[in-house]
Amino acid sequence: MPKDVAIIGVGQSAFSRKYSGSVREMVFEAFAEAVRDAGITPKDIDASLVCSAPEYDKQRSPAGLIAEYLGLNPQPTFVLENICASGTSGVRVAYSLIKAGLHDIVAVIGFQKMSEISSAESQERMGRGADIMWEAPFGTMMPAYYAMHAQVHFARYNTTEEDLALIRVKASKYGAINDRAVFRKELTVEQCLSAGVVSSPLKVYDCCANADGASCLILANAARAKEASSQPVWILGLGAASATMNLTGRQFLDGLQVTRLAARQAYRMAGLSPRDVDVAEVHDCFTIAELMAYEDLGFAEPGRGKELIREGQTYIGGKIPVNVDGGLLSKGHPIGATGGSQVRTIVLQLRGEAGPMQVPGAEVGLVQNIGGVGIYSNVIILGR
């Protein structure tokens, strides 16, 4: 189990429907929190990565602007993009820059400000995150793609709309106690089932909300981590994979092959197995995505993810608590900020600082972050 690179500071802005300032100001909130958390100053940071998807706001090449605003010149900085998986790709690259010896301390900054355009416009942009020649011309969007996965899962395994509703109910319970979440109401199964259909079988509450938000992680090599932090959280395992952008190239739709591959790599690197994981953050952009993650990450056999949620095993106190911060469904999904927020949650859990969301005694945590509809997947295993 390698202990070469650690996370020594985490920060996150409140996720909101409509942030009232500029991108740079929103990012500053997450950054200042992470730097204070790490007990360092901006000058200690040797490089920064900015994780974000373009075309939601007007600033191009945000790395340069953000490095200026955060006082991170003249250190190197660049933009990394894997749509919704950008933040954890940032962790992978920051790990590499440090392990390769190029830098000692690297900041991974994620942000998205989605409220400057309409919801239909943002769906159009998400549609152009699929193949613009062969899929977008039909009017594709994220809920539709995930709905097509749900249809196959339903048909093959008798998963039901109630199972998906149970996942949203869990998310809403934890969202209600997370003061950084955008959606703070508790929902019932009935409310979820009676909501309008977005793309069958997915209904309004099966879908996460667009949000504005920022996150920041500070990574350091072993020497600097031990010096700066009393509780470094180590990167034990990393996995990453890609799939064809076109659905026509996928072997199956009742799970995500990218997550299976990324998880296998991460478990192998960490020398751990699914049952060693005490708490997990998975990419629940839609309820079906969380259900597939249970199976793809090995928490349940294929087709048996529904039993985990039916039995309440993914709540705190269950076999494998998942998204006990509300997940993307309740926290909100500011694309570039999402991966960093997931990692932050696990870091706080492993430090025992997760407050009302704490999983008692958590020692090993896992993050799974997806870009697009199973185009990219990153799996990260963290430990004390």
Partner 1 sequence: MGFEKFGRKSYTAQTKVAEFVDRLAQGEICATRCRSCGRIYFPPRADCSFCLGDAMEWVKIPETGKLASFTRVYYAPAGFEADVPYTLALVNFGDVKVFGRLSSAVEESTIKIGMDLKPIVLEMPDGQITYEFIPVEECGR
Q: Where on the chain is the footprint of partner 1 (CB under 8 A)?
A: 19-22, 24-25, 28, 32, 35-36, 42, 57-59, 69-71, 116, 118, 120-121, 123-124, 126-128, 131-141, 143-144, 147-152, 155, 196-202, 246-249, 253
- The single residue among 32, 42, 117, 131 that binds a second copy, judged by CB under 8 A, is 131
Is 78 among the residues that bind a second copy (CB under 8 A)? yes
Listing DSSP states for 268-318 in one string gives HHHT--GGG-SEEE---SBHHHHHHHHHHTTSS-TT-HHHHHHTTTTSTTS
Sign of CA dihedral 176, 141, 116, 337: positive
Closest by CA position to 292, among listed 338, 251, 250, 256? 256
- The single residue among 73, 119, 200, 273 that binds a second copy, judged by CB under 8 A, is 73
* Residues 43, 49, 51, 56, Cα dihedral to 10°: 70
CB of 4 to partner 1, least distance (A): 29
Q: Is 149 a catalytic residue?
A: no
Q: Which does 77 bind (CB under 5 to 8 A by kind): a second copy, partner 1, none?
A: a second copy
Asked if 175 contacts 181 with a C-beta cutoff of 8 angstroms, the reply is yes
Is 1 among the residues that bind a second copy (CB under 8 A)? no
Q: Tokens 């294929």: give the residue.
A: 302
Continuous H helices in 158-216: 161-175, 189-194
Distance of CA 203 to the CA centre of its chain: 21
| Interface positions, 213-252, toward a second copy (CB under 8 A) | 238, 240-246, 249
Q: Which does 20 bind (CB under 5 to 8 A by kind): a second copy, partner 1, none?
A: partner 1
State which residue, 70 or 322, has the beta carbon closest to a second copy: 70
Q: Is 84 a catalytic residue?
A: yes
| Residue 35 half-sphere exposure toward CB, CA atoms < 13 A | 19
**In this structure, which amino acid lies at residue 57?**
D
State which residue, 88 or 210, has the beta carbon closest to partner 1: 210
Residues carrying an active site annotation = 84, 333
Residues in contact with a second copy by the rule CB under 8 A = 22, 47, 53-55, 58-61, 63-65, 67-68, 72-83, 86, 89, 92-93, 95-102, 125, 128-129, 131-133, 238, 240-246, 249, 257-258, 261, 371-372, 375-376
